[in-house]
Amino acid sequence: MTTGATLLGSSGPLQNAYDVALLDLDGVVYRGALGVPHAPEAVIGARAAGMRVMYVTNNAARAPQTVADHLTELDIPTRADEVTTAAQAAAALVASEADATTRVLTIGGDGLRQAMLAEGLTVVASADDAPTVVVQGFAPTLGWTDLAEAVYAIRAGAGYIASNLDATLPTDRGMAPGNGSLVAAVVHATGVTPRSTGKPQASIFHQAARRSDAERPLVVGDRLDTDIAGARAAGYPSLHVLTGVDQITEVLRAVPGERPTFLAADLRGLAHAHPEPHRRQGAWTCGAAAARVDDATLILTRVGGELTLTAGSDPTTVSLDEFRAAAAAAWAASDAVGTARADTSVLPADFPPLRLASE
């Protein structure tokens, strides 16, 4: 299943059109310890409509049961087999290449070690135990002695796999170093670059789809460079929600490989039909909304006149259909001039923040 790099339509609710939602967690279902508003009702409603859910997370420190318990506490009853972690994706890769001599040194939390054991792999605790592969995942307790162990083993010839390469990790005090930043220290000391299995790699999504017997999976996420890029890489359609990291302006400026298929404010978008934008006489329309992009300017056609938005404009409220029409217009304009990178989108980096009108 492949999709083009623009928005599609769905004449019925997404939860009827797709059989499994591959849901991101942070910024979609919860933010830190707190649930995202409307998420429990939306997930329960999607299940009642026949859609199954599989959570897909780059967090390699927490075991699936721990994630399931957290979701259950947030009023979303969840089983461990409805969670796919980057640790499981890494373990699946190691297992697919393993033979009788394979010995895994895990540098990370208990979730990472448990994932290797669940694949029947032999796990060792030290570079002195002659590991054949090092697998590194984030844990808040990781220190110099752990990184040194990885370096000893890799310099002695062990293979190297990272659960994910996220540079940062959101915490309640701001952004902290993520797994990719700790991996960078090991890369610096060894000159060896690991293979990664977490988002935005396709493999974690393919594994999640396989584990949930998905025939028509829909990826749901808040980050363009992990969730949505991974969906594109996997060949699955995606729904972007605005409850986490990336907001409307980031979506409008997205490069082709990071463009979602559907747009919604939050998970309630699963229960809705999604009108498809169409090009009409130089503008893009969606429902009653119309937008066009001229150079670095977005122009929304509204009753009573046009609204012109460019660098330095005031923050503005738009409807969901205006957001869809604007995304289609901005992407088509960027494609027309052949831009390949976010910092060369036709819309400038200081394009004003847009907010969704509550509907």
* Cβ atoms of 130 and 102 closer than 8 Å: no
CA distance 141 to 112: 13
Which residues make Cβ contacts (< 8 Å) with residue 204, sequence separation at least 6? 56, 58, 84, 86, 89, 197, 198, 230
From the list 27, 40, 64, 198, which residue makes contact with Mg ion (rule: CB under 5 A)? 27
Using the minimum distance from each CB to Mg ion, give the nearer residue, 24 or 82. 24
CA distance 26 to 67: 11
* 200: preceding bond cis by omega (within 30 degrees): yes
Cβ 28 to Mg ion shortest distance, Å? 6
Helices 86-97 + 202-211 axis angle, to 10: 90
Q: Is 258 a residue that touches Mg ion (CB under 5 A)?
A: no
* Segment interacting with Mg ion, rule: CB under 5 A, options 123-131, 175-183, 237-245, 285-293: 237-245
Using the minimum distance from each CB to Mg ion, give the nearer residue, 114 or 243. 243
176 three-class SS = strand
Q: Which of 26, 227, 246, 321 is catalytic?
A: 26
CA distance 91 to 117: 9
Q: Which of 24, 222, 225, 266 is catalytic?
A: 24
CA distance 120 to 95: 8
* Segment interacting with Mg ion, rule: CB under 5 A, options 34-42, 50-58, 203-211, 236-244: 236-244
Count, residues near Mg ion per rule CB under 5 A: 5
Residue type, 251: V
295 is catalytic: no
Using the minimum distance from each CB to Mg ion, give the nearer residue, 241 or 290. 241
CA distances from 136 to 139, 176, 191 (A): 9, 17, 16
Cβ 58 to Mg ion shortest distance, Å? 8
Cβ 164 to Mg ion shortest distance, Å? 12
From the list 26, 82, 258, 322, which residue makes contact with Mg ion (rule: CB under 5 A)? 26
Cβ 244 to Mg ion shortest distance, Å? 5
Measured between its terminal Cα atoms, the distance across the chain in Å is 32
Closest residue by beta carbon to Mg ion = 27
CA distance 65 to 181: 27
- For residue 242, give the nearest of 223, 218, 261, 259 by alpha carbon: 223
Cβ 194 to Mg ion shortest distance, Å? 22
From the list 13, 14, 20, 24, which residue makes contact with Mg ion (rule: CB under 5 A)? 24
* Segment interacting with Mg ion, rule: CB under 5 A, options 19-27, 47-55, 92-100, 290-298: 19-27
CA distance 332 to 339: 10
CA distance 56 to 276: 27
* Segment interacting with Mg ion, rule: CB under 5 A, options 43-51, 240-248, 296-304, 323-331: 240-248
Cβ 59 to Mg ion shortest distance, Å? 10
From the list 149, 222, 225, 250, which residue makes contact with Mg ion (rule: CB under 5 A)? 222
CB atoms within 10 A of CB 225: 18
Q: Which residue has the tokens 């499994």?
A: 20
Cβ 323 to Mg ion shortest distance, Å? 19
Using the minimum distance from each CB to Mg ion, give the nearer residue, 26 or 225. 26
26 is catalytic: yes
Using the minimum distance from each CB to Mg ion, give the nearer residue, 30 or 152. 30
CB atoms within 10 A of CB 262: 24
Active-site positions read 24, 26
Q: Which residues bind Mg ion (CB under 5 A)?
A: 24, 26-27, 222, 244
